[in-house]
């Protein structure tokens, strides 16, 4: 069964509080999502393999650690996942980026896929699917199925805020996928919004309504 990690670093929690606050405007919301994404990227890459390399310091020859060249792919779910890409690329600048376009039908709450474009070598990459919100889990579930249908072998999911309902869907449908969260909230309301949540992530990021 996939593991669930709540990244409870104080800086992540502090910034999340201002992201949730309805008085935080678009500019500040965007900046905070960017900063939290970078901090989460730091945590999610904790287990990247290292290898030894021989170098010369000004004093002597020594062996030191470098990344073992694991290839990473970021896959934001459009639109709101886009807000998390730049922060992650600050720490993982060589990552390739694929896009999955999905929106949640407001009546049925079912995801509708409208776009997909992925790096050709996704089968050999460690893929990190990113979306601020994991609500019913329909969108992330659909995105991960799309990636696996196209050859993805290693997938992780990273979200700012999740509802227990969405986490359960991913655990059942994708037991091989570990989930990294900024917070695990209480539940969904009758319209499928996470409570307490942060509202509509895409609208708050892009200033739409």
Ligand X SMILES: O=P(O)(O)OC[C@H]1O[C@H](OP(=O)(O)OP(=O)(O)O)[C@H](O)[C@@H]1O
Ligand Y SMILES: O=c1cc[nH]c(=O)[nH]1
- By CB under 6 A, is residue 194 in contact with ligand Y? yes
Q: Which of 18, 103, 193, 206 binds ligand Y (CB under 6 A)?
A: 193
Ordered alpha helix ranges (H), the chain: 10-20, 26-44, 85-91, 138-149, 164-173, 201-206
104, 125, 156, 204: which is the annotated catalytic residue?
104
Residue 16 phi, psi (nearest 5):
-60, -35
Q: Is 103 in the site for ligand Y (CB under 6 A)?
A: no
208 is in an annotated binding site: no
Residue 24 annotated as catalytic:
no
By the rule CB under 6 A, 170 interacts with ligand X: no
Options 21-29, 37-45, 55-63, 199-207: segment touching ligand Y (CB under 6 A): 199-207
Q: Is 200 known to be catalytic?
A: yes
Q: Does 104 help bind ligand X (rule: CB under 6 A)?
A: yes
Closest CA to 32 of 132, 137, 172: 132
Task: Candidates 78, 202, 204, 205: give the one binding Mg ion (CB under 5 A).
Answer: 202
Quote the CA–CA distance of 141 and 61 in Å, as a whole number. Answer: 49
201 is in an annotated binding site: yes
Four-point Cα dihedral 131, 133, 137, 141, nearest 10: 0
Known catalytic membership, residue 47 = no
86 as an active site residue: the answer is no
76 sits near Mg ion (criterion: CB under 5 A): no
Q: Would you count residue 167 as binding ligand Y (CB under 6 A)? A: no
**Phi-psi bin for 30: left (phi > 0), alpha (psi -120 to 50), beta?**
alpha
Tell which residue, 123, 76, 67, 126, has the closest CA to residue 97.
76
SS3 153: coil
Q: How many residues does the chain have?
A: 209
Determine if residue 136 is labeled as part of a ligand binding site.
Answer: yes
Q: Does 139 bind ligand X (CB under 6 A)?
A: yes
Closest-CB residue for ligand X? 202
**Minimum Å distance from CB 182 to ligand Y?**
13
Catalytic machinery residues: 104, 108, 200, 203
């Amino acid at each position: 069964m996939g593991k669930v990690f709540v990244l409870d670093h104080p800086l992540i929690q502090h910034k999340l509080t201002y992201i949730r606050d309805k008085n935080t405007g678009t500019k500040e919301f965007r900046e905070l999502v960017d900063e939290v994404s970078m901090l989460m990227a730091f945590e999610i890459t904790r287990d990247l393999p290292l290898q030894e390399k021989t170098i010369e310091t000004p004093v002597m020859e020594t062996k030191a650690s470098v990344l073992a060249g694991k290839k990473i792919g970021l896959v934001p779910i459009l639109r709101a996942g886009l807000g998390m890409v730049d922060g992650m690329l600050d720490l993982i600048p060589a990552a390739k980026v694929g896009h999955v376009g999905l929106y949640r039908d407001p009546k049925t709450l079912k995801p509708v896929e409208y776009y997909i474009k992925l790096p050709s070598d996704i089968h050999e990459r460690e893929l990190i699917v990113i979306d601020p919100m994991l609500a019913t889990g329909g969108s992330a579930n659909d995105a991960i199925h799309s990636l696996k249908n196209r050859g993805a072998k290693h997938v992780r999911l990273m979200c700012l805020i999740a509802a227990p309902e969405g986490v359960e869907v991913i655990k059942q449908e994708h037991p091989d996928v570990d989930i990294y969260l900024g917070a695990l909230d209480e539940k969904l309301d009758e319209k499928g919004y996470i409570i307490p949540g942060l509202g509509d992530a895409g609208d708050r990021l892009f200033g739409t309504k």
